[in-house]
Chain A
């Protein structure tokens, strides 16, 4: 509950119309993706906040936080707010919905820096940046995400990580309303020198501001951030045609290649990932499991069912990488394509032709035929020149454009990723996915594939072949990441419970097998679990929480409770 006086104080901060305490509105801030992160009883509802406020300026945020410090209210900020980490964790939490803070404050084209507010969505920023030959890392959950949130406060893996790094590493400055209400600007921005580095002077407070995961609203509110931008060698703009759910580029821009690469084994796929990273070939890459490959090449679930039943994809698409090669010059493009083909020769990879429409009829015929063939791609593997010949056949241009467009939306725009994860059963979740090497990634996805099997066998999770390890390499193969996705019917309470179980099992495995701290493992409960295995980091976090948030004005659930007196 919130008192009238408290409501009035919030209204004084942001204006009456930007405060809501209505139960119906509060419930729209009590339902998020992966509610099991908070709700252990299988409920879809997360705790209801006592109020939602919509500040427009840093000063307004500051006033709200200062007010929370005077009361037992806690603040919980969100930007686009789709995951349960945005939820209030208990009663007496005021949600700060930052949707009104949506300005791209500055784009420093020369120095490749954007200064933005919390509700600047990646797709919007990226579209603006393309005009200037620049790009921003966009996370693979979809480009409707807040760039600031993934850079400062949450996670941030995207398909273009090979060329645009990881969101947390792209931070060049941040304006941070501390849990006490003071406004701290980190790095060069804090001295008025410009927003080009978030570190220093001397020791970098950035190291307590976020880690592999962000503080997820548990340590104040980030109201501005400067983001590192990258080159964009593609077109400044393009035309779109087609209609929902299939939108097509009007044409494939020059010096861009979208490739579907099938490998004979997991090891070959991993080797290729490393080699392509070293050669700095890729703008983006994504390990696409068999199920998602089939999904991407079919138009609907009916076709997908036929595709899976045919066995065609299981036969040839178990170890697939998709990638984008995007270059600034013809010379670069030629070299990169040549290097990529050389790597394919070394690893037995095949560049799958995409000018052939995969129809249910074709699959029904091909399935039984391929069952008798040990390696349907053997010829293409053995004589790579055949791949070039097949690719150069001038048929199926429209089909090729369609597949190219899909990959463009996936790898460049992160615009269709949720189509893949939600089309089959409308529910998904993910587990593991710590950030280190490409090899570690495959260990994680192998583990989760095994763990999923029992839920698949019970019909709780969708039978996607179990291996739904998705991810890619980062910073030209220097790092890698794979997470294990599982699909389910969100209306099935058993699936919600199972999702919670698999998270638990994943945590156990991460500790026993040294798989790294999973992506979902943040906040008080997870910290308790991982702390003893990880140098007791939560002890330090609780000290930080106490020092920076003496009145617990920020909801601690997804960060840390303060160290007790």
Chain B
């Protein structure tokens, strides 16, 4: 992008309203990554806010004609991971104002949302319909639902995720060459209304035909296409919930229990936090200092929610509780409504409710960098061990590292996240973490951690592990974004 700023602005004005183009420092600063630990890339030169898919298409076509480099964001607030981080000058497309929820369908448990819709907004809209959606662990207030699920971010409700692409159903997006496309059942034939009149609900993610292009867009961090809306799988909203906590001082004690509960899809929300992460998550709701809360907790806490829905809710809870208790007893564990200063009800509520403007992980020390990857549950202890040793080697305070273990895809895999909380003003902490992150990713990868959502150092490591995959991705990129207008150079694509 070698054109000067005024020329760029004037070109953008040919497809967008003046008000949709911003060069203000505050706007641009909002899209600077808020972590000093990983490479933040180059901040965008301009922020643009197309009003609709048509303008978005025009914008992308313009980028193709003029060689602009585009990145995209839909969330607001602090950006920690920054999928939009670019290695060269870029125009950032801000879709956070696209907040329509045009359709909610109770019968087929599906809703249609635009990229700017946040979890708080969506959950509120779904509630009158008796619906809800799986959400990440206490997402920050400005977190876009589309951004989250198009990034394959894990939810706390693992047995509702059948496929790693869930809960994405159908999608509409603009490819890098400016063409609009729809996937899944929405891919046609017919308009959305015609499909609905025939009984369809854009529920299936598969297709059209022999393609599943939403999977290419998903996880691409804006390098393949820009989503304009998605339909999303919703779930019945629990009418009664009875969450429990299961504590253990080692994962070895806890994991067999989780396996046994997850296989028959017993219960609902389920995840494990270590005491640091749990106390951090709950710090906004507890008046005690975080270390006091942590001190009352066992090393690992599993939240296991049990719920009843519209049909025979209490009886459902009763049998599920009985079954889960039986499993717990078999493993010499117990389901309890509280552990130390932690109540299961509060824990569930906090975990499933959007937190404040700032990610809860930053509460302890002001900032946090997470190293996260996928593995299987049985291998988690070995990674905890590796990371612990690495942290010690880098003199990172053990008590500032939290661990989040989230079974995904009905416990066929497991998201593991080491959240390293740090004081962003303390250079030594930043330096230590920077080095830890750089060392940890390759070592964990070597040990079998799979960095499926590559951020930070992971991006360098994981693509090197499978060079042919990258080669094919390059071919795919050439097809969908032939002029490389979508975050050119990211991952070497």
Contact = CB atoms under 8 A, between A and B. Distances in A.
Which of A182, A211, A228, A335 has the most CB atoms of chain B within a 10 A radius of its CB?
Answer: A211
Interface in B166-184: 179-182
A191 B465 contact: yes
Contacts of A394: none
A277 to B, nearest CB: 9
B200 interface: yes
B152 A527 contact: no
B322 A331 contact: yes
Contacts of B466: 185, 190-191, 201
Given A215-B210, A517-B189, A207 B216 contact: yes
Contacts of A516: 185, 189, 195, 200, 207
Contacts of B479: 540, 543-544, 547
A363 to B, nearest CB: 35
A339 interface: yes
Given A193-B449, A516-B200, A534-B189, A203 B208 contact: no
Contacts of A535: 180-182, 187-188, 208
A192 B448 contact: yes
Contact of A197 (B201, B221, B409, B491): B409
A236 interface: no
A202 interface: yes
Nearest to B165: A199
Contacts of B452: 187-188, 197, 199-202
Nearest to A558: B210
B385 to A, nearest CB: 17
B201 A514 contact: no
Contact of A212 (B209, B233, B319): B209
Interface in A175-221: 178, 182-188, 190-194, 196-216
Given A113-B412, A197-B450, A200-B453, A186 B469 contact: yes
Q: Is the interface of A mostly helix, strand, loop or mixed?
A: mixed
Contact of A329 (B197, B210, B323): B323
B190 A514 contact: yes
B213 interface: yes
B475 interface: yes
A530 B209 contact: yes
Given A205-B472, A328-B323, A534-B187, A517 B207 contact: yes
Interface stretch (A16-24, A412-420, A437-445): A437-445
A537 B217 contact: no
A202 B219 contact: yes
A522 B462 CA distance: 34
A280 B379 CA distance: 30
A147 interface: no
A510 B468 contact: no
A207 B212 contact: yes
Nearest to A170: B163
Interface in A107-129: 108, 110-113
Interface in B427-462: 445, 448-454, 458-459, 462
B468 A201 contact: no
B129 interface: no
B323 A514 contact: no
B240 to A, nearest CB: 14
A287 to B, nearest CB: 14
A467 interface: no
Interface stretch (B66-74, B275-283, B309-317): B309-317
A540 B213 contact: yes
B367 interface: no
A436 B212 CA distance: 14
B104 interface: no
Contacts of B102: none
Interface in B300-321: 309-312, 315-316, 318-320
Interface size class of B (residues with CB under 8 A): 35 or more
A437 B454 contact: no
Nearest to A216: B210
A231 interface: yes
A225 B476 CA distance: 22
Interface residues of A, number: 105
Given A165-B163, A184-B472, A185-B466, A207 B206 contact: no
A437 B108 CA distance: 7
Contacts of A113: 412
A436 B201 CA distance: 7
Contacts of A210: 210, 212
B319 A331 contact: yes
Interface stretch (B120-128, B257-265, B340-348): B257-265
A423 interface: no
A478 interface: yes
B448 A203 contact: no
B219 A439 contact: no
Contact of A541 (B165, B195, B211): B211
Contacts of B182: 535
Contacts of B478: 547
A537 B208 contact: yes
A540 to B, nearest CB: 7
Contacts of A182: 468
B204 interface: yes
Given A165-B163, A203-B216, A516-B200, A193 B316 contact: no
Nearest to B319: A331
Interface in A491-538: 510-517, 521-522, 526-527, 530, 533-538
Given A184-B472, A205-B476, A517-B208, A197 B164 contact: yes
B215 A206 contact: yes
Nearest to B255: A110
B413 A196 contact: yes
A514 B152 contact: no
Given A184-B469, A200-B453, A516-B200, A335 B319 contact: yes
B23 interface: no
Nearest to A560: B210
Contacts of A534: 187-189, 208-209
Interface string A536-565: 111011011001100000000001100000
Given A110-B378, A202-B219, A203-B219, A521 B209 contact: yes
Given A194-B448, A201-B463, A206 B212 contact: yes
Which of B162, B210, B310 has the most CB atoms of chain A within a 10 A radius of its CB?
Answer: B210
A7 to B, nearest CB: 30
Given A203-B217, A479-B204, A522 B188 contact: no
A207 B220 CA distance: 12
Given A192-B465, A197-B413, A541 B210 contact: yes
A214 B211 CA distance: 8
B319 A332 contact: yes
A211 B469 contact: no
A342 B217 contact: no
Contacts of B409: 197, 228
B473 A513 contact: no
A191 B445 contact: yes
A443 B185 contact: no
B218 interface: yes
A538 B391 CA distance: 51
A184 B480 CA distance: 20
- Nearest 5 CB-CB pairs, A to B? A514-B190, A207-B215, A439-B199, A331-B319, A200-B452
17 contacts: A188-B413, A194-B379, A194-B450, A199-B165, A199-B218, A201-B458, A205-B476, A207-B217, A208-B213, A209-B212, A212-B206, A278-B109, A435-B207, A512-B189, A514-B195, A514-B198, A515-B200
Interface of A: 108, 110-113, 133, 165-166, 168-170, 172, 178, 182-188, 190-194, 196-216, 228, 230-231, 233, 274-275, 278-280, 328-329, 331-332, 334-335, 338-339, 342-343, 434-437, 439-443, 475, 477-479, 510-517, 521-522, 526-527, 530, 533-538, 540-541, 543-544, 547-548, 559-560
Given A111-B412, A335-B312, A478-B233, 4 more contacts: A110-B376, A201-B452, A331-B319, A434-B207
